[in-house]
Chain A
Amino acid sequence: MIRLVTRDLALAVRAGGGFGLGLAFFLVVTVLVPFGVGPEAAILGPIAPGILWIGALLACLLSLDRVFALDREDGALDLLATAPLPMEGIALAKAAAHWLSTGLPLSLAAAPLGVLLSLPWPGHLWLALSLLMGTPALSLIGTFGAALTVGLRRGGPLLSLLVLPLYVPTLVFGADVARRGAAGLDPATPLALLGAVTLGCLAGLPFAAAAALRVSIR
């Protein structure tokens, strides 16, 4: 399983792997917001946690259609399915590789980007923490969606439609953690709920993704 994760990371980092794509997209979205709503800190500050969370979420979505589609195109998915690795392990490894190449760099980049949106000070830490806790759920849900649509030609747009509604709980709790943190309130409750969503996804979705994969390689 670790081999599959390291292979996918190597593929993501090498030419054409799309490693920096999500990060660059996140940066561009964040830079565009002040152009759209004006540069006043009084306006930007309160909406910054929500904007940054939505930006990270969309950046996550950008690389999802590659999760299984590339392996299916070149036949590697069939070979993986016959390898001594349970389908659940493949799904989990794919989600882990997606998080390490997308969710983790986004979480680390979010705090510096908060400065661009005049996010009030302690908010940066809470934003980074909420993304660190929430993005694994985004990768797991996205992997499940990718497994469902891997058999479809041009499944990318359908994948977005399937996955975005499932992102709502993570977005609500994640942005609330950052907002409360920035406003100096106690973010413990949304933080606990965010963790619960992520753990729930971790417990259930690899199995769902594996079932979807088994159907689509038939």
Chain B
Amino acid sequence: MRIAARGLTAGRGGVPVLSGMDFAVAPGRALILRGPNGAGKTTLLRTIAGLQPPMAGTVEPDRDAVAYGGHADGMKGQLTVAENLSFWAGLHRTGGIGAALDAFALAPLEDRLAQHLSAGQRRRLGLARMMVTGRPVWCLDEPTVSLDAANTARFAAMVRRHLEGGGTAVLATHIDLGLDAETLDVARHRAVFGDAARAAGAPA
């Protein structure tokens, strides 16, 4: 599914962070967001995922097509790996969790409580959740944090399969995943507001 933003201004807490964003991502392609810390990558991802409304402009597709994966993975420590995934699969009314377990070699950990997983294992579980959502658009925020090289490769393979199936993905990441992707440097779209805007004579 195509992702398109027109004249998009995204902000948090009523303060614009990014403005004048225009981009489109064709089906089967990915968009990599780059920029220094605090540049607004997370804000843009949350806006695309529909967690916060755009301050101006429009963004496609509808939020019902987007699966979001943030810094926190939302997995419950008192539930097992399989229970966590089954819950999200059930909520999204998709089929089994087998493919998602296989994608990150989680099958041996299936009956382990999520609170007993290491940080990297938890991250794998959180990323495996993306597969059970069955959504065509993935928004992922720093997905490879605490993953080792082998699992980063597994993640890249998962995203590649998703793209081959006609999906799209927007990823904020600092490492090269070897994906067929455009790169967007969000620092160039930084919104000007407050004193800086008045100094430049632009409307805040």
Interface positions of A (Cβ within 8 A of B): 3-4, 7, 10-11, 14-17, 71, 73-85, 217-218
Contacts and interface: CB of A to CB of B under 8 A. Distances in A.
Contact of A217 (B13, B51, B91, B93): B51
B51 A11 contact: no
Contact of B67 (A14, A71, A82): A82
A11 B84 CA distance: 11
Given A7-B87, A11-B79, A83-B92, A75 B70 contact: yes
A71 B76 CA distance: 9
10 contacts: A3-B90, A7-B79, A11-B76, A15-B78, A73-B72, A75-B70, A75-B74, A76-B76, A80-B74, A85-B91
B136 to A, nearest CB: 13
B75 interface: yes
A11 B64 CA distance: 27
Interface in B8-64: 12-13, 46, 49-53, 63-64
B122 to A, nearest CB: 10
B71 interface: yes
Given A74-B73, A74-B76, 18 more contacts: A7-B79, A7-B87, A10-B83, A74-B72, A75-B70, A75-B73, A75-B74, A78-B70, A79-B70, A79-B129, A80-B74, A80-B91, A82-B66, A83-B92, A83-B133, A84-B64, A84-B92, A217-B52
Nearest to B64: A84
B193 interface: no
A3 B78 contact: no
Main secondary structure, interface of A, reads helix
A82 B49 contact: yes
B104 interface: no
Nearest to B134: A84
A101 to B, nearest CB: 14
Contacts of B51: 78, 81-82, 217-218
A75 B87 CA distance: 15
Contact of A3 (B70, B87, B133): B87
Contact of B79 (A10, A71, A79): A10
Interface in B121-138: 129, 133
A75 B72 CA distance: 5
B127 to A, nearest CB: 12
Interface string B79-105: 100010001101111000000000000
Name the residue among A11, A77, A83 with the largest chain B CB count within 10 angstroms. Answer: A83
B91 A218 contact: no
Contacts of B66: 82
Contacts of A217: 51-52
B13 to A, nearest CB: 8
B68 interface: yes
A79 B68 contact: yes
A218 B52 contact: yes
A107 B15 CA distance: 48
B70 A16 contact: no
Contacts of B67: 82
A78 B74 contact: yes
Contact of B78 (A11, A84, A218): A11
A74 B87 CA distance: 15
Contacts of B87: 3, 7
A3 B132 CA distance: 15
A4 B90 CA distance: 9
- Nearest 4 CB-CB pairings of A with B: A75-B72, A76-B74, A75-B74, A14-B78
Name the residue among A16, A71, A80, A84 with the largest chain B CB count within 10 angstroms. Answer: A84
Nearest to B50: A82
